[in-house]
Amino acid sequence: MRRSSSLLTAAAALTTTAMAMTAIPAGAADAPAPRATAGTQVPVFAGPLGGTPSLVADGDAGRAAPASKFVVTYTGFTPEAKAAFQRAVTMWQSKLSSPVPITVKASWEPLGSGVLGSAGPSYVWDVNGVLYADAVANKKSGKQLHAAPDIVARFSSNFSNWHFGTGPAPAGKYDFTSVVAHELGHGVGFFGAGRVSGSTGSVRINGKNVSYDRYTKLGANASSPLLWKMPDNSTQLGSALRSNNVYFDAPGVRSANGGKAAKLYAPGTWRQGSSYSHLDEATFPKGSPNSLMTYAIGGGETIRTPGNLGMAVLKAVGW
Ligand SMILES: [Zn+2]
């Protein structure tokens, strides 16, 4: 809810990064390598602290074998924070398959008011005209495309009420493992390019869609118009992104969501970092098995799995 000035600062910093990036000949040494553009950071906000604790159990936990390897470099973490982080890593390693290790730079630092964490890929890579997050592009090409971390993740040192334990978070505490699971979800590709500036909207970064953008629609029907087919930087797209009527639609998503497209968070006021790149909070509330990727995590809310729907979105975007 708190649209902090720090988020605006973060957006400005990203722009700077993007401009700096154009000078880097990323992938130039590898003949067919796709070209890179700076990635984006997507946060999760602190939801209400009160209320009854909820737990969504991960049905695969302890059963599924690792299918990928995350390599995390930590800065500023206590041993208990690292252990809690590692539990989210173990979960994702069992859900995602890649022949290329997924590198993560994780830092513990002050973030904006109400922001629990934020993450995204260092770069997005152009593969046949569509942009993919580092980890997806690496998987597709079968090698590490760039030495920069595949995921840059930040977690807030401002909160004194983190829960780092293995068990569910009690009332009044934010479950750190759930927040890490959420942010790593963004890092591996749960985000789109959607943004609104004034009255106009875009679903492109430097003129190209992120793979996520190819599945977003204005409306929930099979025939509803795809956002990426609307004119770039148009008021039509600006209105659509604030319509409270944006859905992610793919066959796998429908299978995982009772035959329906998945409603995204698209409130009437654009919320940079929260709008569009999250599932709808009201549709997937605390306690829902698919609520990991909503824009906020509340006190006592423990969910350490993307659910079938989260996985279906990730499969659509390239996994
Ligand atoms: Zn998020």
- Domain membership of residue 135 (yes or no) is yes
- Distance (angstroms) between ligand 1 centre and the Cα of 30 equals 33
How far apart are the CA of 156 and the centre of ligand 1, in A?
14
- Residue at 223 is within a domain: yes
In a domain, 4, yes or no: no
The answer to whether residue 238 sits within a structural domain is yes
Centre of ligand 1 from the C-alpha of residue 31, in Å:
35
Model confidence at 17: pLDDT above 80? no
Q: Could you tell me the distance, in angstroms and rounded to a whole number, from the CA of residue 223 to the centre of ligand 1? A: 28
Instruction: Please state whether 238 falls in left (phi above 0), alpha (psi between -120 and 50) or beta.
Output: alpha
Mean pLDDT along residues 155-180: 97
pLDDT at 58: 80
Arithmetic mean of pLDDT, 104-109: 98
Distance in Å, CA 110 to ligand 1 centroid: 17
Lookup result for tokens 């934020």: 118
Gap from CA of 178 to ligand 1 centroid (Å):
11
In the reported structure, the alpha carbon of residue 291 is separated from the centroid of ligand 1 by a whole-number distance in angstroms of 11
Confidence grade of residue 34 (pLDDT, cut at 50, 70, 90): low
Examine the pLDDT at 226 and tell me if it is beyond 70.
Answer: yes
Whether residue 100 has pLDDT greater than 50: yes
**pLDDT tens by residue, 48-96:** 777 788 888 887 766 678 899 999 999 999 999 999 999 999 999 999 9
Asked if the model's pLDDT at residue 3 lies above 70, the reply is: no
pLDDT at 60: 73
The range of the structural domain enclosing residue 275 comes to: 34-316
| Mean pLDDT calculated for residue range 12-17 | 27
Distance 191 CA to ligand 1 centre (A): 8
pTM: 0.88
The answer to whether position 10 is within a domain reads no
In a domain, 175, yes or no: yes
Find the 115 Cα to ligand 1 centroid distance in Å: 10
- Please check whether residue 105 lies inside any domain of the structure: yes
pLDDT classification of 5: cutoffs 50, 70, 90: very low
Whether 2 has a pLDDT exceeding 90, the answer reads no
44 Cα to the center of ligand 1, angstroms:
4
Look over the chain and give the mean of its residue pLDDT values, rounded to a whole number.
Answer: 88
Which neighbouring-strand residues pair with 218?
246
The lowest-confidence range among 15-19, 264-268, 278-282, 315-319 is 15-19
Looking at the domain assignment, is residue 29 inside a domain? no
Distance from Cα 278 to the centre of ligand 1, integer Å: 6
Domain count for the chain = 1
Indicate if the pLDDT at residue 199 is higher than 60. Answer: yes
Q: DSSP 3-state assignment of 102?
A: strand
Closest-CA residue to 104 (of 121, 90, 83, 88): 121
